[in-house]
Structure 1
Amino acid sequence: MKKEAKYIATVSLGVMGAGFLATLPTAVSSTVWGTFLQGGFEAGVVGGLADWFAVSALFRHPLGIPIPHTALLPNNREKITKALVSTVQNELLSKETIKARLEQIHFLERGLELADKQLDNASLHKGLTALAKHALQAIDLEKLTPLLAEEIHKAIQDVDTSRLVRTLIDTIEDGGYDSKTLDFVLDKAAAWAIKADTRDQLGAMAIKAFEGLQSNGFMAFAVNAFIGMVNEEKIGGIIQNFVLSYIDQMRMKNHPRRESVLTFIRNELHKLERNPQLIAELESLKTKLPEMFDLDEKLAFMLGRLKEKAENFIDQPEFIPVHVVPIIRNMLLSIRENDDMIARGEAWIQDQITAYLEQNHSKIGQLVKENLDKLDNEKLTVLMEDKIGSDLQWIRVNGAICGFIIGLGLAGLRLLF
């Protein structure tokens, strides 16, 4: 386009020059039309040459002659650069202009909308999977295990032993474990007492007890008579029935004997939290627990297994779309529905942009100047000619045409008067 405009400008000047030369003989012969046309072509040549000189003088010395006030762009480069920098920095891209334009943009809302639209993107899913894997692989179990073990050990040592015993006692009472334990013992006692062997053992023990009694007179006669009437089986049966009857009474809810035993058990339990020997034993046990259970080794094994399971879980195709995306989408939705959070977020973003703009606005001018300084005079001239040269060439064309028209008018006036 630039070459075409320059060609047209050159042709227009050449036409004016050729016309001027062609009409010289007619002007000399003083013919009306010859004088009229010669005046137009003469003015067209003057206008074309003047505009050619003016356009050329912007960029270089016309015909290489160092005429004063020519080559304006190279000679006034510093002024032009300063003016351009000032115009861009303080007018076209002033702080107020940039800030006003940025205030019209709702960055947070647009960011949330864009994020929501991209959640179903397969490339994003791959990226999230890779990120999750990288984060998981970055966990150093050799360093993490001792830290966790140390924290667990501290947590165990920080446990209030008396409170722990009291909590256990309360749990036993609230869950009725004292009553359940008594029932368990009674069931075992009943199962033992009902056996025939138990009956015989009880009978034999009773006979021996009677035989060992030291008595005289009538008491001795009575004991011997009683032993003669009963045997181990009979007396064992009597004792067995008594024991089973007693156990049945103990099983009955709210029976005085049962309640008496449970009260005794509960009182003994409540004494435990104030038992210094028990508390000391438990305190000693707390320090030994990590070694007793090989805490470091078991914790390392557990963490390794959890990490392996997590890696396998991440590798599943549905991990991102089924487990991660819904969480992110719900989070984004909750933020978008929270007008107060959106307003505070937008205000924060605008504050950050304003602060960044205040700190770096001067760099706009610096950037323009640095880019201009990279160009030498020749490259800058070529750049300017490339951008505005075609329009300037049309000034030459217009100068030649306007000069021709004005020349015709002046020649006409000269002939008229």
Structure 2
Amino acid sequence: MHPAPVLIEQLEQNADQLKRARLRTMQWVAVGLLVAAALLFALARSQRGGHPAWGYLEAFSEASMVGAIADWFAVVALFRHPLGIPIWHTAIIPNSKDGIGQSLGAFVENHFITEQGIAERIAQADPASLLGAWLRDPRHAQQLGDSAAGVAKQLLSMLDQQQMRELLRSKATHYLGELNLSSVAADCIDALIADGKPQELLDFVLDKGADYLADESHHAAIGDFALNAFHIENKLIKAGLVLYEARMIRSLQEFLVAVRADPQHPMRARLSGWIADSALHLKSDAHWQDTVKRYQLQALASDKVQAMLGEVWDSISERLLADLNSERPALARTIARMAGNTGQVLASDDKARAWLNDTIVAGTSSLVRRYRGEVGDFIESRLALWSKEEMSTRIELAIGRDLQFIRINGTVVGGLAGLLIYAVTQAF
């Protein structure tokens, strides 16, 4: 399969060959008429005294030759010097190449590339409706989703994984370091207090604690914990504690049950006060805020956290690749669904269509205002790349076949004019 530029060049060459062949055909037709007129003139001239009709034929053929030659000169003079002779005001197109480029650029710029003209054309086309109809087709929506997934997969494979890993780790570290963790924590505590979550958490702890104390299999461990916590080495005191161990545990259990059963228990109020006080300190106490900030930065600087942040990109890319390599990627389905929904909105919502059309018009008008002056310069610069001969050849291939009809018409009309003049002369 040929690349697009090569294919386009071949098509242009084929088109030029066809135009050149048709031009030659019409040139031979015009030359043939001139030759026919010359033969008729010679025949009529040789039979001049035989019959009055030969005079009319002679006048017709003579005027036909004059008309054919004059129009041949006029047509040829547009593109080159007739017979190679540099006659004044011939080879008009090659000699006017720069002026033609300037005039053509200015004409296109002033009469075609205008805000009003383009806006009217866009309004007639109604691109919002066309886009909506295209997106509503499930095949188009699916094609759009599949194409987007394919592009995403290719882009993902082209990325430098190590660079992306370091970039994401650096950005995440910077963002988390700039985060005001004290304010976030205070807001979370306020939200928990507003929802009554601290009391629910306390009820949960009380229930679990009471259940733990009620299980006699835990009592020995509780006693050992108390002895170790107070560093009691005296055997007499140890014996006393073991003796009162069951009573101590039962008393603690009764306390937990009492707090759990009484919503107005002072312990609950103290807990709420402590939590609210913590939120207040996090909001306004500079010492608390500095402490939280210090621990926050220390945690972010730790090797473990940095390694975890570095693995974020690996996790993201693995999940994306797994999805993109699947038979129906979620990204493709999502984009297809969004495309279909967009098509439905554009089909049913007049305001949405009007907004999109107006946006396209506004964007296009802005481009026209910005680049309109460059259109003429672009056309002029492109034509400047052509040589005089190339420009003349291109124009001749474009309109030369039609210009040959001028020669044909000149032959016929010239002959008729000569015939009319001769007839009038003979009449008077």
8 A Cα contact 2:64 2:418, kept in partner: yes
In the TM superposition, what is the alpha-carbon distance from 1:10 to its structure 2 partner?
A: 1.1
Unaligned runs of 5+ in 1: 194-207, 209-235
In the TM superposition, what is the alpha-carbon distance from 1:389 to its structure 2 partner?
A: 1.9
Task: State the aligned residue count.
Answer: 369
In the TM superposition, what is the alpha-carbon distance from 1:177 to its structure 2 partner?
A: 3.1
2:328 to 318, 322, 327: 318
1:59 to 68, 74, 79: 79
Residue 39 of structure 2 corresponds to 18
Identity %: 19
2:368 to 336, 357, 364: 357
CA distance in 2, matches of 1:370, 1:41: 48
Once the two structures are superposed, the pairs formed by residues 108-127 of structure 1 within 5 Å of their partners are: 108-111=128-131, 113-114=133-134, 117=137, 118-121=140-143, 122-127=146-151
In the TM superposition, what is the alpha-carbon distance from 1:150 to its structure 2 partner?
A: 5.8
**RMSD over aligned Cα atoms:** 4.7
8 A Cα contact 1:47 1:402, kept in partner: yes
Q: Does 1:187 align with 2:214?
A: yes
Residue 411 of structure 2 corresponds to 400
In the TM superposition, what is the alpha-carbon distance from 1:3 to its structure 2 partner?
A: 0.9
8 A Cα contact 2:72 2:407, kept in partner: yes
SS across alignment from 1:353: helix
In the TM superposition, what is the alpha-carbon distance from 1:343 to its structure 2 partner?
A: 3.3
2:271 to 266, 269, 272: 269
Amino acid at match of 1:398: N
Taking structure 2 as the reference length, the TM-score comes to: 0.66
Q: Map Cα deviations across residues 158-180 of structure 1 (whole Å, 9 max, x no partner).
A: 15888888888853423523652
In the TM superposition, what is the alpha-carbon distance from 1:152 to its structure 2 partner?
A: 4.5
Compare 299-308 and 51-60 and name the one that shifted more: 299-308
Unaligned runs of 5+ in 2: 1-21, 221-235, 237-242
Amino acid at match of 2:40: G
Taking structure 1 as the reference length, the TM-score comes to: 0.68
Once the two structures are superposed, the pairs formed by residues 49-128 of structure 1 within 5 Å of their partners are: 49-111=69-131, 113-114=133-134, 117=137, 118-121=140-143, 122-128=146-152
CA distance in 2, matches of 1:284, 1:93: 66
Q: Structure 2 vs 1, CA of residues 401 and 247 (structure 1 numbering), >3 Å: closer, same or farther?
A: closer
CA distance in 1, matches of 2:250, 2:92: 128
Based on CA coordinates, which of the two structures has the bigger radius of gyration?
A: 1
Q: Structure 2 vs 1, CA of residues 15 and 355 (structure 1 numbering), >3 Å: closer, same or farther?
A: same
CA distance in 2, matches of 1:115, 1:70: 57
SS across alignment from 2:39: helix
Q: Structure 2 vs 1, CA of residues 151 and 87 (structure 1 numbering), >3 Å: closer, same or farther?
A: closer
Q: Map Cα deviations across residues 38-97 of structure 1 (whole Å, 9 max, x no partner).
A: 222222222222222222333333333444443333444455444434433333555543
Amino acid at match of 2:268: R
CA distance in 1, matches of 2:295, 2:80: 95
Q: Structure 2 vs 1, CA of residues 152 and 377 (structure 1 numbering), >3 Å: closer, same or farther?
A: closer
Compare 181-190 and 92-101 and name the one that shifted more: 181-190
Amino acid at match of 1:32: P
In the TM superposition, what is the alpha-carbon distance from 1:14 to its structure 2 partner?
A: 1.3
